[in-house]
Amino acid sequence: MTEARSRALDPPPAGGREHSPAAAPRHGARAAAAGAPQPRVAATSEAMAELARSMVPPPPPAWRRALSRISRLWLLVAFVVAWQLISTYGQRINPQLDVMMPPPTAVVSAAVDLTERGVLMTHVVDSLKRVLLAVGAATLLGVPLGLAMGWSRRFRAAVDPLLEFIRPIPPLAWIPLSILWFGIGDLQIVYIIFLAAFFPVVLNSMAGARDVDTYLVRAGLSLGARPRELFVTVVLPAALPHIFTGMRIGLGIGWMALVAGELVAAPSGLGYMINNARTLFRSDYILLGMVLIGVLGLVLDYLMRQAARIVMPWHRGQ
Amino acid sequence: MTQVDVANVSKVHISMKGEPLLALLDVNFQVEKNEFFSIVGPSGCGKTTLLNLLAGFEQPTRGQLKVGGEVISAPGWERAVVFQEYALFPWYTVVQNVRYGLQRKRVPDAEQKRLVDHYIGLVGLRGFEARYPRELSGGMRQRVSIARALAVNPSILLMDEPFASLDIQTREYMQDELLKIWQSEPKTVIFITHSIDEAIKLSDRIAIMAPRPGRVEEIKRVDFERPRDPTDPAVVHLAAEVKLWLRQQVFGASKPAGEAGRSEKASAY
């Protein structure tokens, strides 16, 4: 399969091309490239595309590209190997290292162990659910608020002082009060994550709506756009990259707040798992929780970037 | 028939320091229907301010601007604008950009399609319909912008130094194209430029502006047959005359530029 694809990407052997009758215009184009007098009428765009293709070196085969992609991760691999070596051989010098710093293999076996007992998935799913729910709510409320603040100076003047007063309060400072309000459970943790994710979403959406090129607004107005149309066709698309940035930051900060929230008070989740493992001296479970949080954060950010690519095709590669 | 009437228009801008600045002082002129009317002048003479007033983006401090007898109070498609930096919507393809104004006008779908196709053909962009603006060259972007403005069938086309950021070959080509389009679909054009040669090549009449305060000093009629040959002695003569006159306005009569600048400074304090 991959071989077939790489063959399709490779240009056909040069010999075969010279003899095929279809090669005639290409031949002319190549002669021009070699410095021969250019034909008055430019060759067809088809021939030009072929010429361009012949000038670029053929893409490397698929296995080579896969290899080069993997080889870029050498530092990560080196880190894991070093960790493994230090943890296993370090125990000969300091036996406590077994508990203080279990090796990657211990983390993997902890993952297998907890998966077999059926608890790992529950923790992961509970944490993910809370984060997505909270960031979703922060987006639903924060994006319209931010856009409105960016769009209307008067609205911003009214809302800004209130927002700037609440914003510096760390989400963690809300935990005691939120436990009083919501009790210990999903709702309370979702609230903490929501607070953490809300402000980056609002502020970035606001920046996006303020950043709209004056000329684009004027172009819209002079082409007859009414205020609501102007908002949907100009302000919103112009602000989208900022909105996505806000959501990505919100997701990152929300993920941090999740663990903090679950460490303090939660019936389940990765933060709870870490805290519970601490009381049992199971440092392999602690490390497993940390690794999972890192990996899940990475995956969520990757998905966000892919979503942005799909939603903003004009923005690709910028 | 007079279509645009600019009467005693003055405009005060507030500078960043909060001082009022006289951007335009007592500007007066009329533009006929289907006339190609250029406004030339050095930078800082208020050309763009004047265009913003005509487009309805800003309101005059004193005086009135009327189109067809009605005071200009807001932007609208009957005065479509072509901007120097194109101002295409980056999130829309060529087709979507050209269709934008038609959608706002609630033109029926089939008619939208026909008009978009017509104007994309008119500006020579067939085959690029699905491209995004950033995939196009500067000249092509400006053609999209012109097609977008023409598609709404404005009674006046306002052009703000539309070819200033193009290279010279593309600029001359675009000027010829614009003339062709204007001759095939007559329209009032108000064309802002800092290039006297460009104004003479294109216009029926030229308003010449001078700076500090921005004002229209003279309106010249260009009677030569189109297409105009820039090497025709009469054209060369007119261009030289206007250039000399403008230089005197900006830098003072027959004095070296440096000295004139100094004396002006001295008088300002």
Q: Residue count of chain B, please give it.
A: 269
Interface residue A223 vs chain B (CB under 8 A): yes
Structural domain including A216 reads 108-315
Is the domain of B179 the same as that of B263? yes
Neighbouring C-beta atoms of residue A230, cutoff 10 Å: 21
Question: Among B153, B168, B187, where does a domain finish?
Answer: B153
Kindly list the residues from chain A whose CB atom is less than 8 angstroms away from the CB atom of residue B53.
none
Contact yes or no for B159/B191 (Cβ under 8 A): yes
Hey, CA dihedral for A163, A166, A168, A174, is it positive or negative? Answer: negative
Residue that terminates a domain, selected from B153, B170, B189: B153
* Contact indicator for A128, A183 with CB cutoff of 8 Å: no
Euclidean distance between CA atoms A87 and B221, whole angstroms: 90
Q: Is residue A205 domain-shared with residue A141, that is, in the same domain? A: yes
Do A202 and A282 sit in the same domain of this protein? yes
What pLDDT does residue B142 have? 93
Band of residue A39 on the pLDDT scale cut at 50, 70, 90: very low
pLDDT averaged over chain B?
A: 89
List phi, psi (to 5°) of B45.
-95, 0
Q: What is the pLDDT of residue B254?
A: 52
Averaged confidence pLDDT in chain A: 84
Q: How many domains does chain B have?
A: 2
Q: Give residue B12's identity as a one-letter amino acid code.
A: V
Question: Are both B47 and B133 inside the same structural domain?
Answer: no
Q: Searching chain A, which residue's CA lies closest to the CA of residue B99?
A: A223
DSSP B107: -
pLDDT of A58 > 70? The answer is yes
In this structure, the answer to whether residues B233 and B159 fall within a common structural domain is: yes
Residue type, A181: W
**Burial profile A277-287: b = 16 or more Cβ within 10 angstroms, e = fewer:** beeeebbbbbb
Q: Is residue B122 part of a domain?
A: yes
Torsion of CA A34, A35, A36, A41, to 10 degrees: 100
Q: Is there a domain that residue A206 lies in?
A: yes
What pLDDT shows up at residue B261?
40
Q: Residue A18: pLDDT band by 50, 70, 90 thresholds?
A: very low
Return the SS3 of B53.
helix
pLDDT at B106: 94
**CB contacts, 8 Å: B80 with chain A:** 222-223
- The answer on B181 and B128 residing in a single domain is no
pLDDT for the residue A318: 53
Strand order in the sheet with B215-221: B79-82, B156-160, B188-193, B36-40, B205-210, B215-221
**Residue A32 binned pLDDT confidence (cut-offs 50, 70, 90):** very low
Residues A8 and A47 in one domain: yes
Residues of chain A with pLDDT > 70: what percent?
86
Q: Which two tokens stand for residue B34?
A: 């289907």
Residues in chain A with CB shorter than 8 Å from the CB of B74 are: 221
Range with the lowest mean pLDDT among A16-25, A266-275, A294-303, B252-261?
A16-25
Report the C-alpha gap between B261 and B269 in whole angstroms: 13
Decide if A225 touches B, using CB distance below 8 A: yes
- Judge whether residue B269 has pLDDT over 50: no
The residue segments making up the domain with residue B228 are 30-59+69-78+155-268
* Partners of residue A221 in chain B, C-beta under 8 Å: 56-57, 74-76
Residue B141 has pLDDT above 50, yes or no: yes
pLDDT value of position A2? 43
A130 and A50 within one domain: no
CA-CA-CA-CA torsion sign (A25, A30, A34, A35): positive
For residue A45, the model assigns a pLDDT of 74
Greatest CA separation for chain B: 64
Secondary structure in 3-state letters for B200-243: HHHCCEEEEEECCCEEEEEEEECCCCCCCCCCCHHHHHHHHHHH
- Classify residue A67: in a domain, yes or no: no
Measured between alpha carbons, how far is B125 from B144 in angstroms, rounded to an integer?
Answer: 8
Strands B156-160 and B188-193: parallel
CB–CB of A219 and B87 under 8 A? yes
Chain-chain contact of A221 with B89 (C-beta, under 8 angstroms): no
Are A81 and A142 contained in the same domain? Answer: no
Give A286's Cβ-side CA count (13 Å radius): 15
Q: How far off is chain A from B104, nearest CA to CA, in Å? A: 6
Inter-chain contact B152–A224, Cβ cutoff 8 Å?
A: yes
pLDDT of residue A148: 94
The chain B residue lying nearest A240, using CA atoms, is B91
State mean pLDDT over B221-229: 88
pLDDT of residue A43: 55
pLDDT interval class at A71 (50, 70, 90): confident
The 10s digit of each residue's pLDDT in A161-215 is 999 999 999 888 998 899 899 988 889 999 999 999 999 999 999 999 998 999 9
pLDDT, one tens digit per residue, over A88-137 is 888 888 888 878 889 999 999 999 999 999 899 999 999 999 999 999 99
Calculate how close chain B gets to A30, using CA atoms only, in Å: 25
Best mutation target among A48, A211, A223 (most B Cβ atoms within 10 Å) is A223
pLDDT(A149) > 90: yes
**Within-domain flag for A66:** no
| Strands, sheet with B70-71, edge to edge from the N-terminal-most edge strand | B20-32, B2-14, B62-67, B70-71
pLDDT of residue A12: 43
pLDDT at residue A61, rounded to an integer? 87
Domains held by chain A: number: 3
Whether A49 and A141 share a structural domain? no
| Closest by Cβ to A219, choosing from B56, B79, B81 | B81
Q: How far is C-alpha B61 from the chain's CA centre?
A: 21
Per residue in B71-103, pLDDT (tens digit) is 999 999 999 999 999 999 999 999 999 999 999
pLDDT at A24 over 70: no
Can you give the CATH number for the domain in which B206 is found?
Answer: 3.40.50.300
Read off the pLDDT of residues A250-298 as tens digits, 9 standing for 90 and up: 999 999 898 888 888 788 999 999 999 989 889 999 999 999 999 999 9
Instruction: Please give the pLDDT value at position B265.
Output: 38
pLDDT of residue A292: 93
Helices and strands, number each (H, E), in chain B: 8, 10
Compare A20 and A238 and report the one with higher pLDDT: A238
Of B153, B169, B200, which closes a domain? B153
Q: Does the distance separating the beta carbons of B132 and A222 come in below 8 Å?
A: no
pLDDT tens profile B20-71? 999 999 999 999 999 999 999 888 889 999 999 999 999 999 999 999 999 9
Q: Where are the alpha helices (DSSP H) in B85-137?
A: 94-104, 109-122
Residue B168 and residue B55 share a domain:
yes
Residue B143: its H or E element: helix B138-151
Residues A18 and A126 reside in one and the same domain: no
Q: How far is CA A108 from CA A105, A126, A273, B141, in A?
A: 5, 21, 16, 56
Tell me, what's the pLDDT at A93? Answer: 86
Name the closest residue on chain A to residue B52, using Cα atoms. A218
Contact A314 B79 (CB under 8 A): no
**Closest-CA distance of chain A to residue B98, Å:** 10
> What are the Cα distances from residue A20, in Å, to A16, A23, A54?
7, 6, 16
Residues B96 and B142 in one domain: yes
Residue A52 lies inside a defined structural domain of this protein: yes
The DSSP symbol for A231 reads I
What is the rounded CA–CA span in Å between residue A128 and residue A171?
Answer: 18
Cα separation values, B218 from B50, B209, B221, B242, B255, Å: 15, 7, 10, 10, 22
Q: Report the pLDDT averaged over residues B128-141.
A: 93
DSSP state of A234: I
Whether B100 and A221 lie within 8 Å, measured CB to CB: no
Provide the pLDDT confidence category of residue A299 given band limits of 50, 70 and 90. Answer: very high
What residues of chain A, 200 to 219, have a C-beta less than 8 Å from chain B? Answer: 213, 215-216, 218-219
Q: Average of pLDDT values for B215-244?
A: 89
Beta-carbon separation of A224 and B104 below 8 A: yes
User: Could you tell me if B171 and B73 lie in one domain?
Assistant: yes
Residue B16 included in any domain? no
Query: At B157, phi and psi to the nearest 5?
Result: -105, 120
Query: Which residue is closest to A237 within chain B, CA to CA?
Result: B91
Q: What is the pLDDT of residues B5-23, one digit of tens each?
A: 999 999 999 988 989 999 9
Q: Tell me the range of A62-76, A302-316, B87-101 where mean pLDDT is highest.
A: B87-101
How many Cα atoms occupy the beta-carbon half-sphere of B125 within 13 Å?
32
- On chain B, the residues whose CB falls within 8 A of the CB of A312 are 91
On whether residue A68 sits in a domain, the answer given is: no
Q: Of B145, B206, B221, which Cα lies nearest the Cα of B177?
A: B145
CA dihedral B55, B60, B63, B67 (to 10 degrees): 10
Which pLDDT does position B247 carry in this prediction? 83
Do A129 and A244 belong together in one domain? yes
- Show the DSSP H helices in A223-318 as ranges: 227-230, 236-264, 270-279, 283-311
Going by C-beta distance under 8 Å and a sequence separation of 6 or more, which residues neighbour residue A275?
A262, A263
pLDDT exceeds cutoff 60 at A226: yes
pLDDT confidence of residue B40: 93
Are B99 and B53 part of one and the same domain?
no
Same domain, A89 and A175: no
